Amino acid sequence: MRVSVRVFARLRDIVGAAELEREVPAGASVRRLWDGLVAEFPDAGAYAGSLSAAVNTEYAKMDTELHNGDEVAFLPPVSGGEGVATPRIGRCSTN
Partner 1 sequence: MSIARLAVTTERLDLDALIGAVSSAVEADAEGTGAITSFLGLVREHNLGRRVIKLEYEAYEPLAVRTFERIADEITERWPAAQVAVHHRVGVLAIGEASVAIAAASPHRADAFAACRYAIERIKQIVPIWKREFFDGGDVWIEGATADPDDAAAREDAYRRACV
Q: Does 33 bind partner 1 (CB under 8 A)?
A: no
Cα–Cα distance for residue pair 4/71, rounded to 1 Å: 5
Work out how close the CB of 61 gets to partner 1 at its nearest, in angstroms, rounded to a whole number.
9
Q: What is the dihedral of CA 54, 50, 36, 67, to 10 degrees?
A: -20
User: How many positions of this chain bind partner 1 (CB under 8 A)?
Assistant: 34
* Contact criterion met (CB below 8 Å) for 18 and 40: no
Other C-beta atoms lying within 10 Å of the C-beta of residue 4: 13
Among the listed residues 61, 59, 1, 58, the one whose alpha carbon sits nearest the alpha carbon of residue 28: 1
Stretch that binds partner 1, among 20-28, 30-38, 62-70, 82-90 (CB under 8 A): 82-90
Applying the rule CB under 8 A, the residues between 50 and 69 that interact with partner 1 are 50-52, 54, 57-59
By CB under 8 A, residue 48 contacts partner 1: no
Q: Does 94 bind partner 1 (CB under 8 A)?
A: yes
Contact positions toward partner 1, by CB under 8 A? 6, 8-10, 13, 50-52, 54, 57-59, 73, 75-95
